[in-house]
Amino acid sequence: MPKLAIALGLEDKMSDIIEELILKGQQLDAINFAYESGLQHKYPPVPLLKSYLKDAKKAAAL
């Protein structure tokens, strides 16, 4: 999917797409988009993975 977005000329919108994924709790997809678009320095995976684990623990506790 990230490669498709880049192929469609949306590389300037990738930061917005990644931010939206993070806000929606889709951290794993955000990590994938960040790496595919070369923005892993702006969106490092470790904090996103920690956030994902925190959300998963909350969901499991319900």
Contact of 14 with 39, CB cutoff 8 Å: yes
Distance CA 8, CA 62 (A): 40
Residue 10: the pLDDT is 81
Residue 43: the pLDDT is 97
Please tell me the total number of residues recorded for the chain in this structure.
62
Q: What percent of the chain has pLDDT over 90?
A: 79
Biggest CA–CA distance in the chain, Å, is 41
CA 48 to chain centre: 8
Residue 11: the pLDDT is 82
Q: Give pLDDT < 70 ranges for the chain.
A: none
**Would you state the structure tokens that stand for residue 57, as one six-digit string?**
């623990």
Q: Position of tokens 């499991």? A: 60
Considering the entire predicted model, what is its pTM? 0.85
Taking the domains of the chain in order of start, what are their residue ranges?
A: 2-61
Residue 46: the pLDDT is 98
